[in-house]
Structure 1
Amino acid sequence: MSTTQNERLRELLEPLVSSQGLDLEEIELASVGRKRVLRVVVDSEEGADLDQVADVSRALSAKLDETDAMGDGEYELEVGTPGAERPLTEHRHYVRALDRLVRFQLTDESELVARILKVDDDGLDLEVPGVKGRKATARRLGFSDIAKARVQVEFNRKNKNDEQEVEEA
């Protein structure tokens, strides 16, 4: 049996989120003045759109009210998706970040910025961008070597379809 309120909330809400085709990524219960705020972060392989977030928000709100899981006090429910620079903490997060640029903090305290090319059970195949006109290099990184990882926002990056159109022209 779970002991913390966050664990009890996760046990209550996770099946509802899953039934909507989403993953429950994070639950945070915080006090803001006299109110409590329950923040729920959801995602999926394809990402969650606004309609899915609204649907799951209504379902969670109804469940919380029906079960009185938040007690008698006033609370606010916020349901959203991970931000653009999301931290990668689960295997599925790395899979979802395929072909994305990621900043890694390694267990040896060094830092690496690289693009994820492949994810398997043991780690990642990466492309480390070249510096000052040098070619990119390949690198293998085991999950045990990663202390933290966060997706980086890229502006002006051509996607593969744009590159193919340029080559075909």
Structure 2
Amino acid sequence: MTDPVTRGAPDRLFELLEPVAESQGLDLVEVGLSRTGRGHVVRIVIHSEAGVTHADCARVTRAAGAALEEAETFPGSYVLEVGSPGLDRVLKEAREFDVFRGRRVRVWIREGGTSERSGVVAGRRGDESVAILEDDGEERVFDWASVAKARLVPEQNRRDDGGEA
């Protein structure tokens, strides 16, 4: 049986919490929700070009907790977890190509099999297409539905390598 609180909730929670992250100068990347024996677990993933610090996570935890309480989102108890996307995050939605613009990425495309491309995230092109700038300088645009997988590639000399929470 589907829990009425969790049905469609990640999208509603994203809408509620995106302004909270933005008010802290951060991007909201993902909101996840799961049910435990005693309540719910809300997982929030935030991002900043400068890196996500523990202080960022603490500020978002306080602000998101206040927003969830004010909206009376859950009838019982819940656990709130806030963290960074990690250095080698799998990109799960086309909109993440805007969030991670400028970062190195590997993309596996379904085209009569699966081919692998790599380059720098160039952003979205429309609602359902994404683009990368390949190492040869050529921009490649893919329909998001044809992307089998897209994963950020950690860079050795990035300023924020050690700063992610």
TM-score by length of 2: 0.71
Once the two structures are superposed, the pairs formed by residues 1-169 of structure 1 within 5 Å of their partners are 4-71=8-75, 73-88=76-91, 89=93, 90=95, 91-97=97-103, 100=104, 102-108=105-111, 109-116=113-120, 119=122, 122=125, 123-127=131-135, 140-144=139-143, 147=147, 148-153=149-154, 157=156, 159=157
Structure showing greater relative contact order (alpha-carbon pairs closer than 8 Å, 6 or more residues apart): 2
Superposition deviation, residue 12 in structure 1: 1.9
Higher helix share: 1
What secondary structure is seen at the aligned counterpart in 2 of 1:105? strand
CA shift, 1:87, in A, is 2.0
Tell me how many residue pairs correspond in the alignment: 141
Which one-letter code corresponds to 2:152 in the other structure?
A: V
Aligned residues: CA RMSD: 2.7
Q: Percent identity among equivalent residues? A: 35
CA separation of 1:107/1:93 partners in 2, compared to 1, >3 Å: closer, same or farther? Answer: farther
C-alpha change, 1:56 and 1:96, in structure 2 (3 Å) is farther
Distance 1:94 1:77, change over 3 A: closer
Which sections of structure 1, spanning at least 5 residues, go unmatched? 128-136, 161-169
Q: Mind listing any 5+ residue stretches in structure 2 that lack a counterpart?
A: 1-6, 126-130, 159-165
Task: Answer with 1 or 2: which has the greater Rg.
Answer: 1
Greater shift, 37-46 or 84-93, is seen at 84-93
TM-score (norm 1): 0.69
Q: Using a 3 Å threshold, how does the CA distance of structure 1 residues 35 and 114 change in structure 2: closer, same or farther?
A: same
